[in-house]
Amino acid sequence: MKSKRIGIAILVVATALGLTACSASEPVLPRGNEKVTLDPAKFSTQIDNPYWPMKPGTRWTFRETDAEGTVFTVVVIVTDKTKTIANGIKARVVRDTAYQGNEIVEDTFDWYAQDSFGSIWYLGEDTAEFEHGKVVSRAGSFEAGLHGAQAGVLLPGHPQVGQSYREEYQAGEAEDNGEILSLVEQADTPFRHFTDMLLIKDTSAIEPDVVEYKFYARGFGAVLTLDVSGGSGREELVKVDKAPAGAGTGPLGHP
């Protein structure tokens, strides 16, 4: 139920992130199951990419409507917590909790870090689906560096139309990909009207018939997600505020 996060790649100096490259502007963006060797010293938990700055304490509230018309409330909180991932990179912990009414139906710790070029990397997630307070699935959980899982890119530091890259990879569990379609979109949400937005097409090798369009607004992050194939869901930003101290740091099922 939760929204997940393939082309012109900009090349960079070979030493930047341990990737083969030949220019000085941005890393080669990985695709599919390509292995990458990332230098933890090149990453930070201070994430200030303009298309999704993750300041600890920021809380976003979304309204999600699925193909059947069921409405969910999704709360995303940038916590003050960090986690050292199996590949050695220290990541920012972001809490993503979906409610149907007052009942939690999905709860996730997402792990992100920003490289020295401003790209936000997705390093894994610990996720659980719930029914009547009981965990019924842990599908989709992965951690870069464990069991063949590889880090992916959530947002390039310098997005350009045509860029394509993987967003996450663990075979059979997490195989999402992104492609930048536009930098000049506009859209309405209950929160406000946005212009000059980044539009990313999200696909999955596991669900090839599913396509999402995700709209990122400067200073706010992903404010609108639309299912354009494999469903007709919509997730839209309703509110941005500051979460209370400690919010989002409890165990799964108890944010």
Give the CATH number for residue 176.
2.40.360
Q: CB within 8 A of 22, min separation 6: which ones? A: 11, 12, 13, 14
Q: Has residue 12 been placed in a domain? A: no
Q: Looking at the chain, which runs of residues are DSSP E strands?
A: 43-44, 58-65, 71-84, 90-100, 103-115, 120-131, 134-137, 142-143, 152-155, 164-166, 176-188, 193-204, 211-217, 221-229, 234-242
CA 83 → CA 93, 109, 143, 205, 251, distances in Å? Answer: 7, 10, 11, 28, 14
Output the pLDDT for position 67.
93
Half-sphere exposure of 147 (CA within 13 A, CB side): 10
* Ranges of the chain with pLDDT below 50: 1-24
Number of domains present in the structure of the chain: 1
Query: Do residues 189 and 195 lie in contact, with contact meaning Cβ atoms separated by under 8 Å?
Result: no
Q: Has residue 19 been placed in a domain? A: no
Neighbours of 158 (CB within 10 A): 12
Output the pLDDT for position 10.
31
Q: Has residue 214 been placed in a domain? A: yes
Q: Has residue 129 been placed in a domain? A: yes
Q: Has residue 249 been placed in a domain? A: no
Show the domain range for 168.
40-242
Q: Has residue 28 been placed in a domain? A: no
Q: Has residue 135 been placed in a domain? A: yes
Output the pLDDT for position 27.
64
Q: Has residue 97 been placed in a domain? A: yes
